[in-house]
Homo-oligomer: A and B are copies of this chain.
C-alpha cells in the first residue's frame, strides 16, 4: 500500500517504450530527444534512465521486440501445403501484420542505420530469417512447376518491397478494407511469380 514518494505508476516502463515508438515513427530517431519522450510519458528526462540505459537501447529494444513478434506470429501461422497455398498465406499475413503495426514497421525499415553495428547485425539476421521463409516458398513453387523459374532471391526482395509498401499509403479511414487490400496484393503477387 505504501508508495515511495514520487512513484505514480508501476507501468512506466512500457509507457516509455510506447512513447519512443510513436515519436521515433513520427519524427525519426535522431530528431527525437529524451526530453520529448519524457514529456510524452509525463516524467522528467532523468527518470527515463530507470528503464533504459540509453537512447540507443530504446531503439534496439523496439526493433528487437518487433522482429521477435513478427517471427513468432509467423511461426504460429505457418502451415504445410502447396507452394501456392503457402504463398497466399504468407502474403495475407504480411499485409495484415504490417497494416496493424505501421509504427513498428516504419521504424524497422527507416532506422536501421541508426543502430550500432552490433545491434544492426542482430536485427538484420532476424529480418533475413523472415525473408528466407518466402524464398523457400518461391523455390518450392518452382520445383512444383507452378512458379516461373527465376532468381528467387530477387523475387523475394521484390515481393517483400511491394507488400511492405502498403504502409506508405494505407489509411484505416480510407476507402478500402484490410480484406480488400489483402486480396488485391495477393492477386498481384500470385501473377508476378507464376508461370
Chain A residues close to B by CB (< 8 Å) = 26-28, 30-31, 110, 113-114, 148, 150-151, 154-155, 157-162, 164-166, 168-169, 176, 181, 184-185, 187-189, 191-194
Contact = CB atoms under 8 A, between A and B. Distances in A.
A160 B188 CA distance: 13
A154 to B, nearest CB: 6
Given A31-B30, A110-B110, A168-B161, A193 B184 contact: no
Number of copies of this kind of chain in the complex = 2
Given A154-B181, A194-B191, A27 B161 contact: no
A27 B150 CA distance: 34
Given A30-B30, A189-B192, 13 more contacts: A30-B31, A150-B184, A154-B176, A155-B188, A157-B165, A158-B185, A159-B162, A160-B165, A161-B161, A161-B164, A161-B168, A191-B191, A191-B193
A181 B157 CA distance: 12
Contacts of A30: 28, 30-31
